Structure 1
Amino acid sequence: MPPQLVPTPVPAHFVGPALRPERVERISDQRWLVWVGADQLVEREWGDGGRRGFLEGSAANRELTELLWERPWDFGVVGSVVLGAELVRWDPAGTRNRGVVQIAVPEVLDGVQRLGVLERAVADGMPVDRLRQSVVRLEVVTGPAVEVVRGELDAEDRRRNAATAQDELVRDPNLLRVMRQFRDDGVRFLVRRGEAREPYGDGGASGTCLTVEEATAALACLAPGARLEVAHAAGTAAGRERLWAERGQAAYRTVFNEHTEAVGVLRAVVIAREVRDVVGRMARGKRYGHAHLWRDAPQLVVWAVGRRLPLVELHREGRGPGAVDWDVMVGKRLAGLTETVAEELREAYARLRPTAGSGRRLRHEAVRGLEFWQAAMGACGGRG
């Protein structure tokens, strides 16, 4: 349990900034947590302890400044200012967990940027009184804890896991809706990084399992309105990351939008898996001519096969006369269709580059390029 909050004895010569916090918690003999209005943090000397000065022009500080001006009440929701001090004095002044806190010889261990944003906002005309809407958390440490905290803060940047575009996918309401649909159907749809990835196509005891990586690659080829350049990009990890980084843009919305349904996502993944399995078997053991196309550009084959499928029905539950029977299409027709399309692409490749290139590296790189994909589809009449 944390130590009981009791008034701190203070020497007669004690001098330091006095704060009237919203709340005070004493964590240990050497650590305090103090929640205080941001108006009490400006126009003060906090000493020099940070590794950097205020980076006025940084993108992070510009965004933090915008937050302060537009929504000051949210400025202190996350983040904190860490101070080292020679001594902390708390006088409860007859109140519980509030009163007055004085900090002797403070130095900023972390939070120079946050304090700098506050000072710059006041210099630019923000009334100090308005800063009262922002409650900032101070952590104050004294004694040996100062050097311990300073060292850990220096190491924190190395330990921080950098965010990626994939980490933002769970903020997409359309993708969240699909995740809920899969959950209701007992399907494991893995979107977040760090979730245990099952072996390819194996859902283990929980049944069907698919990942957002293969769903993105498949839908980029098979979603209604899919575009070749998007399908090409989604075939690589770097391309998918770029696609995910542009949520709300046309390319991303081709893949995940308000019409995307779990049933369609699953169909696309199943089709893409089957196409890749077929071309993988076709390419096995073939080390001659233009057959390397199947190994080096399976995503192109998925795209080309998709041009022969009724993709407008992908996300629809088929019922009644004339509805697409996807089970029959995938189970009985897809393998033969894939073989036909894959051969047509190989023949188009042979016509475009009869010698298959002058070197292994060059020809393998060529068939992975968007220009070749465009040329190969054109040579097949645009259908594959």
Structure 2
Amino acid sequence: MLAAQTTRGWIADVRAAELAAIAGMPDAARRLGARRGLLVSSPANQSLARMLRERPADFGGVGSIVLGADAVELQADPGGFTGVLHVIGAECFDGFQRLGVLAEAWHSLAVDALASCVLRLEIVCGSDRDRIRGLHDVAHRYVNESTAQDLLIRSPQVLRLMQSDWEGGFFDPRRGTVSVSGGRAWTMADVTRGLACLSAEARPDGMHQVMDQKGLEALWSDHTSALHGSIFHERVEPIGVMRAVEAWHAARRALDAIPKNRRKGHGHLIEYAPDLICWTACRDLRLDELHNPRPNYPWAQAIDHQLPALTVRAADWLVQRYSSVRADRMRPYKVEAPELELWLKLLGLDGARP
């Protein structure tokens, strides 16, 4: 243990073995005055327990255990930086769940395996004790919850885009593309879906995943995934992002303009799987030229004048395919049309899925 005295108590780095017993009693929450008992089945505590088993060194890498105490006595070694802290009249202001997970797992884990598990312990004494207790009781009010989108900044390719020239604007993974001159701006969802739709590398699986918020968050949270790499790759350039989003929006507008009387029967595909149709239509564009700043392809003309007709044609073809492969439909269109299995079957890719 390493310990140092502060203006309001002590701070110490403590090995798991020295803390395991603190929350080991059945009534530990009551004894320590914790705000709530151990939430054994909560997703957060299950993740903590898994981390403790698999990566004990990471268990104490973030956060700290904050205790209040009547008094603290240090039995130090001659150097004054290590030794044993005797905590008298302890109560837990913060970190009881982490302590409880440690206590629950202690008897089933080998002590040697936990040798690298060190937790930061803060102990508050004296006149500051009541104030710090009260602050921890309402600390949740001042926390900006982290989201999957926040993790995009750890992607090397997203970082490269942030540092690129956006012609009078800039790129921020929390805000998407931003124009300082009042021009077009798009959210990160727009950017991701546009790139998924026009990526030459991404299969329809990628377009399917990012249709809803849950799929977007799964992509944003893991920049090491194959799908992330097929959408945000080393060839992505700002001009390509702008073309991709413009094309995706143009294709969606073309679908919206299709009359309602063509959305009946298997035409429900237009209503419930629009991104499949957009992805298919965009296969007829020169996707290999998407990120080329000087392309041998008239992107503006293709998006404005060719893509709407390509989208309608793709819709007609896919609806016809739908009526062919699902002639004896047994389930509602609303349920079936958005399923990836159907998309791959309509595109003839069901036998080639990796």
TM > 0.5 between the two? yes
Contact 1:87 1:104 in 2 (8 A): yes
Contact 2:64 2:119 in 1 (8 A): no
Q: What is aligned with 2:111? A: 124
Contact 1:33 1:137 in 2 (8 A): no
Task: Please give the alpha-carbon distance, in whole angstroms, between the structure 2 residues aligned to 1:245 and 1:145.
Answer: 38
The 3 A distance-change label for structure 1 pair 67 and 353 is closer
Shift of 1:305: 0.8
Task: Check if 1:266 corresponds to 2:253.
Answer: no
Secondary structure of 2:186 counterpart: strand
Task: Check if 1:302 corresponds to 2:278.
Answer: yes
Amino acid at match of 1:111: G
The 3 A distance-change label for structure 1 pair 249 and 102 is closer
| Comparing 158-167 and 173-182, the one that deviates more | 158-167
Deviations 1:149-185 (A, max 9, x none): 6676566679866644333222111112113326x43
Task: Please give the alpha-carbon distance, in whole angstroms, between the structure 2 residues aligned to 1:345 and 1:44.
Answer: 61
Task: Check if 1:349 corresponds to 2:332.
Answer: no
Question: Which has more radius of gyration?
Answer: 1
Shift of 1:314: 1.6
Contact 2:266 2:333 in 1 (8 A): no
Shift of 1:376: 2.9
Shift of 1:308: 0.8
Q: What is aligned with 2:6? A: 24
Q: What is aligned with 1:275? A: 251
Contact 1:189 1:209 in 2 (8 A): no
Q: What is aligned with 1:168? A: 151
Contact 1:188 1:208 in 2 (8 A): no
The equivalent position to 2:173 in structure 1, one of 163, 166, 191, is 191
Deviations 1:260-299 (A, max 9, x none): 2222222111100000011101145756454433232210
Q: What is aligned with 2:48? A: 60
The 3 A distance-change label for structure 1 pair 105 and 324 is same
Q: What is aligned with 1:312? A: 288
Unaligned runs of 5+ in 2: 23-27, 75-83
What TM-score comes out, normalization by structure 1 length?
A: 0.66
Shift of 1:37: 3.9
The 3 A distance-change label for structure 1 pair 58 and 335 is closer
| Comparing 164-173 and 284-293, the one that deviates more | 284-293
Q: What is aligned with 2:339? A: 369
Q: What is aligned with 2:162? A: 179
Shift of 1:330: 1.6
Task: Check if 1:243 corresponds to 2:219.
Answer: yes
Shift of 1:215: 2.0
Shift of 1:24: 0.8
Equivalent positions of 1:66-215 (< 5 A) are 69=57, 75=60, 78-87=62-71, 104-112=88-96, 113=98, 124-125=111-112, 136-141=120-125, 146=130, 153=136, 163-181=146-164, 184-187=166-169, 189=171, 191-192=173-174, 195=175, 205-215=181-191
Amino acid at match of 2:64: S
Shift of 1:334: 1.9
The 3 A distance-change label for structure 1 pair 88 and 318 is same
Task: Check if 1:337 corresponds to 2:324.
Answer: no
Amino acid at match of 1:170: I
RMSD (Å) for aligned C-alpha atoms: 4.5
Task: Please give the alpha-carbon distance, in whole angstroms, between the structure 1 residues aligned to 2:129 and 2:252.
Answer: 58
Secondary structure of 1:38 counterpart: strand
Contact 1:188 1:207 in 2 (8 A): no
Contact 2:56 2:113 in 1 (8 A): no
Question: Between Structure 1 and Structure 2, how many residues are aligned?
Answer: 325
| Comparing 208-217 and 148-157, the one that deviates more | 148-157
Contact 1:247 1:253 in 2 (8 A): yes
Unaligned runs of 5+ in 1: 1-18, 26-31, 91-99
The 3 A distance-change label for structure 1 pair 297 and 189 is farther
The 3 A distance-change label for structure 1 pair 203 and 37 is closer
Contact 2:263 2:271 in 1 (8 A): no
What TM-score comes out, normalization by structure 2 length?
A: 0.71
